[in-house]
Structure 1
């Protein structure tokens, strides 16, 4: 009996045999030339979408809160040197970096904040530039995109080839430069030492970095038998050592001072008759007269390297000029003679065992002038990519290591497919924005390379990889791969997208089984945007069902009031919000990706809850994550949003170039992407957000312009321009807009009753000049944390108002003291003149969360209503509470709005009667409460 094939194998076979491309433009071959690739201007909308989004270029931002925030990011995008981003790519390929300094932080090279995500920030920056260009049409952004695409094209081409010497000005002539981050070294033939017992090794070096243990040379077999000269030991000074029994048995020589960075230094070691001497710039700095080992003790070493270590030390960064090896110990005078001239013109003469002048200007080999013909070769520590489509800012070794890794160690492997996703997404966005076919060619090559690796792995290996925290994180790569498939139609690309299925998670969410507790939040949120796109491409409902259920497990059960989620990057137990508040709450990436997921789900199913969430997270966490300060060097975006009392937002995460700074750049250049959607058949226009924008609906021949200062204004005015068109205008009625939502067209009220948390429809043939006015009265309200109802957040309409106070303990406030008959809590506050949305209470100012300041804030406060106060009149009665924490005042005001004072008094009477009967309130105190309700005056 033939064994059944695994599900993944069957899927791959089916896909490869009969894939149905979204576009009839298959790419020719695995590495087709850029000219053969299609360059559509718009990502094709899947048939499964019942709505269609508009492109960024079709929705222009008007002046207002969003435009002000975006302007800061646009200036950053225009001012940051993209050559710094490209440095890590060029270095990895052994190309000249033009002196550019790597961005540092998570984009750092070895020894700088790990650096194992380098390249991810370049992808984010490409996406940001692409969105900036699509939104503004400003040529400067397109020029920067094309510069980056040209550089990345050169990088991929260089990675396909053997490394070539990078020449630089030398001490005497031409030097060989080793760019930091290049992973390149010089390999000498095995016979270079020739069994000599006496020896001199001499080199001119110009270090460009102060990393410890980088080698001038290292001759040996492994980490047991070797002889090396390091530019810096752990104490920062040069060291020579020889051993046949590992580090503990090293016989060495240590210098006395650090070599200067960026300047030429001459190093020489002599060893003969048991005496070793180390010279720096002609001066003797160390001498050891009791050395029992000499180079002949090593035999014929396998590894004879310039710039590389037999240990896992950084490759030498800098330049070499003249490396010579003699089979004798030079005299001090001969060492001195090497300081002022080339070896050939010195008293020492050329090395008799090996002599390299590094005068070559191209190619990857160095001629030996000793007469022994020992040609040296420039190599990469990792060899080269397994596939010509490979593109990255670090070696392929991280991807290879992940395939056998069973535990996470981000210092070795830190989410390589996450980094690949950011680069891939940036390339796709660049193609969409500029129609530059190079971007699509690079993206297609990356996916061809990934498929060539992953398709060969067993399903069990893939499941283990993707379940690894951090190391196996792959971000939104599935979404990006499916988007690429829509362009290329290559069956392998759709098959690749399905190779990232994490079945345990997908199956649990499809069954609506909540297993999120303890999972890394932002590792998993983007998985579900990919699943929605997989559903679009395959029709497999399991994917869409899992994504919908996952969203419902997070919103609202693991959501902070500002729309964010996660604590110290992880999901916690369902329904625990107060218990997860910390300095590391609400990672900003999580909000960014939940917005993307909400948007995608709404395109399938027009449940207003998705756009209610979108408004919440956008107008609060996302806007508030951007500091209101200009800076060309930093995007000034939060990583975590601490929700502890008195927290001061950190807009410059210490390590820099973090994931959240990357997504923050993207968020700030696409604020308008979900303001409007249209039905697939063109019969309706959805207005999801109230934002000053102008929509150009080309298919209808009309424009729709919103003029508003929302959320500083409680409503919006929409004006139709252009020609005439028949369609239904669907205006979102926010879930918090409990009363007063009104719509007029050309001054006349529209019939119908708006329902909270739905869309209010106005259907007509629209003509140029038609004016729609939407009134959306705000009210102040609180949201209670589910696990601690007394801990609350204050909202005014869509805006979270935070208390600005430096106290580091929870503030206590009572809000019912002068509540309006509508239930609005705002009358208990005092507005601040000249500062919209700012109010004070008990001497503390409340301000919108979206203001990107460094004021200490309290996003949550402790509700404190010790007395029953109605209409600003104190009854003198202690405010009792039920066992669940609900107070008498809570229950009284839960019935708001009231049609008038009589309705309120009647409700107070009924509530008091109930509480007295339950033994929660004495009859005399109940009578005082009712009397107070009757005598007090209320704001309507």
Structure 2
């Protein structure tokens, strides 16, 4: 019997057996952009963002704040790190900072991700508004990224700028570029003078003006800054411990020209700065002759790998085989060496006057042409595009544990860039973006397809460093556009089998996993299911959902604590200042949306409404800022927590996804059946839908959730289809629908869709009434810890106390079970209430007020209809109180039904010894005598 084929062999066979279409326009820069083809597995179809216009409502102001931010932010700042990596001019732009900095700034190992988010945000902004300014900004960014890829494909080229004397060569910080001199440059000299003009732009320690050596044992160097921040020259044949050195006493100024010179002869070394001797050592016995012929003679690069590459501008560099006099050194300040008494260096002389190419001429007469190089060489494939060297990807392949200070999720960053490019193509019709995206995937396939399966499994299982975000979804989307078999094969190379197999078997192994590293894995699996039909992927995604929602979900729709999941069902036990990472909500929304497109279980849209109207809206601050998008990272659920809208120095993953969320609020309001026979209304939101295939418009007019209902007006042409209206699970009774003022028959079931089948005509009006009910949701592991909802809206207490508030809510509960009568409305402020002197407000309001999302339920006495029975409210061992059990029977059609419930519960509790007979009688009497609102 033949051995089974490995997954790798199957993938390679699939590629060989498939003829992939050529990417349109790859050679000409032109391509035909079209909406992403809908997979056949989707029983529903979404609408494009431009098909759904956002009207005035709770989303409008927040969206406008983000649109203004996208319109005004300098995109050259986002492109700075890309241009730097390619050795291109950064145009004086300053990177955004935070996670979008270069090496040594916070942690720049994720740089480039935010640019991808911004591209998506701008693309969606154009898709949703049609405002040309966003398309123009997208095209500007795509143009720049195209130039970056072109530069990365070739050898580094000189960046010529104005120098100290004529032209000079700039080394952009982040380019990892240096100048390589031929090995004979020192010429075995027993005496030497080194002379260099430099204009440093960054104050990093140990950046080299020059470093000539074989390794970290035998070398000489001149650094702009030593441990004290001052210039240093050293020579050694015995490593750092054997260095004979010269140290200046003051730092070189940044962004100013400085002249450094070193003379070494007869046992004496002298260091000059701007013509003045600043250090002398008369015990320097080593000379270049003692070093011999060295293999690596570098300008700007150190033999110590941890040292930074010189960042700044360099002009004349000269070397003489003698010690120049002090007067000759002074004269070098006045002009080019050739015009001074010293003349050009006889060992080496580089003017750096070149304005093109990657080499520098030597005017010493020795013909020692120097070459501009990158420390990391160059990309392994022409499709490579990133804001840092490919070394991040290479090093990951040998890592066995995570270390984000060394390698921080390079494929996650690649995903954000890839996604942004795809969105630029899909929304802005930029064919160059598709070409860049396709090239990136060709490059990734060229790397990953060569690795053994065991290596891939190890990589993807590494926390943080191996995180790859939603790259599988993006690659599958690209495959749907290009049809290239390699792209589909690439998507499958990210399979994390251990996780997929566990979820497919419905085995919950999530405890201890990083939440946002794994949620987007499952959107990718769904797209793989779409492309391959492999049921394992769909089953895993479906089961995963039920492991998170609701077992690991907070009331606002968020998940994770400190970015990780804990044990299933533990909610109260995980509440802290670092709960509910905003990226997790973003990705759960995407996953729920995609699951609903496959199978119309209302629970997915129930969650969508919860997370969108609470965490996502509440994660965006309600004020403008030109510098930051003002989006939370974590949302602490501890008492008195104040939301932080400027987290972690800015440019985090959550600020990136927050920008995206604010420009696609409308993406799931409506879906249509694949055959066009039905229209799903998933969210009640002021919008206007243009359903082009039917020639129909649907205008939804509402102030939901400040209004308890919505009005839908049909326009366009006559068309027959089913209108399927979502009936929220939290609405228990009173959901009503009229068409042209006539009630539609049928009993809408909470947590379902109410269907109206008819031929619709222009002017038809559908009125949906959705009565809200105020209720609590209990923490799964601590029923006494609760959060308050009014309809879909989470109401949070605004109170500076850092202890859980003790609240009672049953005192004036309505016969329906609605807790609203216990609260007092705040006049003129919809959805604002007070209780016991504390204001309750919608979580969706992005303020910096201290809030209490959860409170401790405390009802020491049995109070019914506002009347105190005088009887203590007993509790079972699980924390359930007598009042809890009474009101669990709501709604009550009449007062008599409530009294009957009270009698039944009291009898049970008395017989269980939890309540005395006299106390029971008093509770029943109170119920009989009290008055209640319906």
Shorter-chain TM-score range: over 0.9
Out of 721, 734, 738, the position equivalent to 2:728 is: 734
Distance, in Å, in 1 between the alignment partners of 2:647 and 2:227 is 29
1:583 pairs, out of 555, 577, 582, with: 577
Deviation (angstroms), 1:166: 0.3
| Counterpart Cα distance in 1 of 2:129 and 2:775 | 38
Provide Cα deviations, 1:794-821, integer angstroms capped at 9, x if missing partner.
1110011111111111111111111111
What pairs with 1:283-302 in structure 2 (closer than 5 Å)? 283-302=276-295
Looking at structure 2, the residues matched to 922 and 336 of structure 1 have their Cα atoms a distance apart, in angstroms, of: 104
Q: What pairs with 1:136-215 in structure 2 (closer than 5 Å)?
A: 136-215=129-208
Provide the residue aligned with 2:552 in structure 1: 558
Residue correspondence of structure 1 range 28-177 to structure 2 within 5 A: 32-35=26-29, 37=31, 39-177=32-170
SS in 2 for 1:818: coil
Give a deviation string over 1:597-636, Cα, whole Å, max 9, x none.
0000000000000000000000000001110011121111
Aligned position for 2:636: 642
CA contact 1:33–1:441 (8 Å) conserved in 2: no
1:332 Cα deviation from its structure 2 partner? 1.3
**1:292 CA drift (Å):** 2.7
- Shift of residue 32, structure 1, vs aligned partner: 3.5
Output aligned runs, 1:289-688, within 5 Å: 289-311=282-304, 312-688=306-682
Which ranges of structure 2 fall in alignment gaps of 5 or more residues?
A: none
Cα distance between partner residues in 1 of 2:121 and 2:68 = 12
Match of 2:23 in 1: 27
In structure 1, what is the Cα distance between the partners aligned to 2:871 and 2:243?
A: 83
Structure 2 CA distance for aligned equivalents of residues 768 and 520 of structure 1 = 51
Asked if 1:866 is matched to 2:860, the reply is yes
Secondary structure of 1:260's counterpart equals coil
Q: What are the superposed Cα offsets for residues 218-259 of structure 1, whole Å, 9 maximum, x if unpaired?
A: 111122222111111222211212222222332222221111
The corresponding residue for 1:719 is 713
For 2:553 and 2:559, locate their aligned partners in 1 and report how far apart those are by CA, in whole Å.
5
Q: Residue 116 of structure 1: SS of its match in structure 2?
A: helix
Counterpart for residue 228 of structure 2: 235
**Alignment deviations for residues 331-374 of structure 1 (CA, whole Å, 9 cap, x no partner):** 11111111111111112221111111100111101111111111
Answer whether contact 1:34 1:441 (CA < 8 A) is retained.
no
Q: Distance in 1 between matches of 2:420 and 2:289?
A: 54
* Length, aligned pairs only: 933
Q: Which residues in structure 2 correspond to 1:765-844 (within 5 Å)?
A: 765-844=759-838
- Could you give the per-residue CA deviations for residues 90-109 of structure 1, whole angstroms, max 9, x where no partner exists? 11111111111111111100
Aligned-partner Cα distance in 1 for 2:773–2:618: 21
What is the alpha-carbon distance in structure 1 between the residues aligned to residue 704 and residue 215 of structure 2? 67
The offset of 1:8, in angstroms, is 3.1
Q: Residues 349 and 364 of structure 2 are in contact (CA less than 8 Å); yes or no, is this contact kept in structure 1? A: yes
CA distance in 2, matches of 1:3, 1:153: 46
Residue of structure 2 equivalent to 1:749: 743
| Distance in 1 separating the partners of 2:791 and 2:238 | 73
CA contact (8 A) 2:213 2:219 kept: yes
Please give the alpha-carbon distance, in whole angstroms, between the structure 2 residues aligned to 1:209 and 1:668.
36
Q: Which moved more, 1:344-353 or 1:667-676?
A: 344-353
- 1:9 alignment counterpart: 9
Report SS of the residue matched to 1:349.
coil
Q: Does the 8 Å CA contact 2:158/2:357 hold for their aligned counterparts? A: yes
3-state SS, counterpart of residue 532 of structure 1: helix
Cα offset, 1:287, TM superposition: 1.5
Find the aligned partners of 1:143 and 1:648 in 2 and give their Cα distance. 38
Question: Partners of 1:914 and 1:927 in 2: how far apart?
Answer: 13
- Distance in 2 between residues matched to 1:709 and 1:15, nearest whole Å: 53
CA distance in 2, matches of 1:402, 1:891: 56
Deviation per residue, 1:837-868 (Å, 9 max, x gap): 01111111111111001111111111111111
Check conservation: 1:34, 1:437, Cα contact below 8 A.
Answer: no
Taking structure 1 as the reference length, what is the TM-score of the superposition? 0.98
1:157-212 residue CA offsets vs partner (Å, 9 max, x unmatched): 11111111000111111110011111111001111111112111111111111111
Displacement after TM superposition at 1:42 (Å): 0.4
Find the residue that maps to 1:65 and give its secondary structure. Answer: coil
For residues 174 and 47 of structure 2, what CA distance do their matches in structure 1 show?
41
Say which SS state the counterpart of residue 721 (structure 1) adopts.
Answer: strand
Give distance in 1, aligned partners of 2:714 and 2:540. Answer: 40
- Tell me by how many angstroms 1:884 deviates: 0.3
Query: Bigger shift: 87-96 or 227-236?
Result: 227-236
Q: Which runs of 5+ in 1 are unaligned?
A: none
Deviation at residue 35 of structure 1 after TM alignment: 4.1
Distance 1:125 1:414 in 2: 20
Residues in 2 aligned to 1:639 and 1:189: alpha-carbon distance in whole angstroms: 51
1:214-225 alignment to 2 at 5 Å? Answer: 214-225=207-218
**C-alpha distance in structure 2 between counterparts of 1:250 and 1:661, whole Å:** 48
CA distance in 2, matches of 1:823, 1:251: 85
SS in 1 for 2:349: strand
Cα RMSD (Å) of the superposition?
A: 1.2
Residue 34 of structure 1 deviates from its aligned partner by 4.7
Deviation at 1:561, TM superposition (A): 0.5
- Cα deviation 1:724-751 (Å, max 9, x = unaligned): 1111000000111111111011111100
C-alpha distance in 1, partners of 2:44/2:739? 25
Q: SS of 2:426's equivalent?
A: helix
Task: Tell me if structure 1 keeps the 8 A contact 2:812–2:822.
Answer: yes
The DSSP-based 3-state class of the residue aligned with 2:524 is helix
1:391 CA drift (Å): 0.7
Partners of 2:30 and 2:432 within 8 A in 1: no
